[in-house]
Amino acid sequence: MSDTHDIYFDDVVVGAKFTTDSHAITAADIARFCDLTRDHHPLHTDADYAGSRGFGGVIAHGLYGLALMEGLKTELKLYQNSSIASLGWDRVRFLRPVIAGDVVRVGFEFTEKRTSSRPGRGIVIETLRLLNQRDECVIEAQHSALLACRSDATS
């Protein structure tokens, strides 16, 4: 595929940075996440209630923002054939609300890499930031991923 840019463990350069396309958050997106997760708290469903709590409209669930970070990153198609597993998220911080109408994007960089105890694979750490239209960081986190080694993929 010409639109795939696989990065294998061998290709990872600590300090390399990437930015995703933007995504506009809608109240309908938030409502679908409410339905999917069964979390219908009024902060996510009632603009008047959210306003009474100091927000400018319904706010997205923190976990919606975190999941969206992974989805936007996936659209870059960096790991189409090299990804083995997500090993987890660490140091997740919800710094500012994500409000319906915000336009967000992800900036991330590789901050660590190490070989795995199993041959043919390695672990990378990505530091990610979800940024709104004002370039404010609304969510920050670290993600650990298990990637195949390029040499293993060709054998």
pLDDT at 7: 95
pTM of the model: 0.90
Per the domain annotation, does 54 fall within a domain?
no
User: Rounded mean pLDDT of the chain?
Assistant: 94
pLDDT at 3: 52
Average pLDDT over residues 93-103: 97
Per the domain annotation, does 50 fall within a domain?
no
Per the domain annotation, does 108 fall within a domain?
yes
Per the domain annotation, does 149 fall within a domain?
yes
Confidence class for position 2, pLDDT limits 50, 70, 90: very low
Reported as a single tens digit per residue, the pLDDT across 31-84 is 999 999 999 999 999 999 999 999 999 999 999 999 999 999 999 999 999 999
Is the pLDDT reported for residue 155 higher than 50? no
pLDDT at 151: 78
Which CATH number does the domain housing residue 149 bear? 3.10.129.10
Coil, helix or strand at residue 19: strand
Query: How would DSSP label each residue in 102-127?
Result: -EEEEEEEEEEEEE-SSTTEEEEEEE
Per the domain annotation, does 56 fall within a domain?
no
Per the domain annotation, does 127 fall within a domain?
yes
Average pLDDT over residues 22-28: 96
Per the domain annotation, does 40 fall within a domain?
no
Residue 99 per-residue DSSP state: B
Question: Cβ neighbours of residue 152 under 8 Å, at least 6 residues apart?
Answer: 119, 120, 121
User: 45-82 burial, b for 16+ CB within 10 Å, e for fewer?
Assistant: eebeebeeeeeebbbbbbebbbebbeebbeebebbeeb
Per the domain annotation, does 4 fall within a domain?
no
> Structural domain tally of the chain?
1
Is the pLDDT reported for residue 154 higher than 80? no
Domain that holds residue 102: 9-24+62-153
User: What sections of the chain are H helices per DSSP?
Assistant: 27-37, 42-45, 47-52, 62-74, 150-153
